Amino acid sequence: MSASLLYGANVSANGIRQHYLRYGGKGRPVILIPGITSPAITWGFVAERLADRHDVYVLDVRGRGLSSTGPDLDYGLDAMAADVIGFAQALGVGAPALLGHSMGARIAMRAANTGGEFSRLALIDPPVSGPGRRPYPSKLPWYVDSIRLALAGIDVEGMKAFCPTWTESQLQLRAEWLHTCFEPAIVTAFEDFHKDDIFPDFATLKQPSMLMVAGRGGVIAPEDEAEIRGLNPAIEISRVPNAGHMIPWDDLDGFFEALGDFLSR
């Protein structure tokens, strides 16, 4: 167990149980919102580094990890954004920074644009697919097939077929926790990548914001960057040239170099 991991806990917020892991405990608060099939524990290696300077809260998004799940919940973007607003209010952390990866970045933007009080946003390679746009490069069966295997019980060797470049420890965590990702929640989020146009959210961000682009991710293209700059000229854009969409997994040092001091300014 990491020395910077203080504890895991649950809080009732926005009408559901939200589970989180807290790292560090000192410095400015940061809420880390993972992506579509990443329970909080899988971001521990990033939170440990952030905890050197920040009070870090890593969320289990609804339908994942130890947070509320099941067929009766709304898994749309607005509901997940309301969870983040409710979470920050329930814990009384003031105006935290948000660091969201992929789906988590979309959640962060929507939360900031719907009444949440947040100091700044680090948006890590958010899907920019949407109506009339090119599709998200990953395919739904990649998620669904791996979740179903995890529900039955999958080992590290089986997980390598889905994440061949990951380290042994990263594969172990994914094999252990992927079964907690509720398939309908994942399907809804994936479909919303194509139904919910996120570009208007860039235009209305008031907080200092950074967009981090994976050089080998195929998620954000140069024309997307140009459109985002046109919508919000104040947004900072950084790149991690040698990383795919799962940036910290591919290049952890590159991720932190691109992030720089953004969260602590």
Q: Note the pLDDT tens digit of each residue in 30-78.
A: 999 999 999 999 999 999 999 999 999 999 999 999 999 999 999 999 9
Please give the torsion angle defined by the CA atoms of residues 215, 221, 224 and 230, in that order, rounded to the nearest 10 degrees: 60
Cα–Cα nearest to 245, from 56, 76, 35, 47: 35
Strand 16-23, strand 5-13: pairing? antiparallel
Residues ≥6 apart with Cβ < 8 Å to 59? 18, 19, 20, 31, 32, 33, 34, 40, 67, 83, 84, 87
Q: Which two tokens stand for residue 41?
A: 């524990």
Burial of 34 (0-12, 13-18, 19+ CB in 10 A): buried
What confidence score (pLDDT) does residue 220 get?
98
How many helices, marked H, and strands, marked E, lie in the chain? 11, 8
* Closest CA relative to residue 121, chosen from 207, 225, 248, 33: 207
Gap between the Cα atoms of 260 and 265, Å rounded: 10
Structure tokens at 37: 């099939």
What residue has token string 């973007």?
Answer: 77
Return averaged pLDDT per consecutive 10 residues of the chain, 265 residues in all.
89 98 97 98 97 97 98 98 98 96 98 95 97 95 97 97 95 97 98 97 98 96 97 98 97 98 95
Query: Residue 1's pLDDT is what?
Result: 56
Domain assignments of the chain as residue spans, ordered by start? 5-129+197-264
User: What's the sign of the alpha-carbon dihedral 135, 121, 247, 237?
Assistant: positive
Strand 209-214 with 97-101, pairing: unpaired
Predicted pLDDT of residue 2? 73
Q: Taking the domain 5-129+197-264, which CATH number applies?
A: 3.40.50.1820
What span, in angstroms and rounded, lies between the C-alpha atoms of 82 and 85? 5
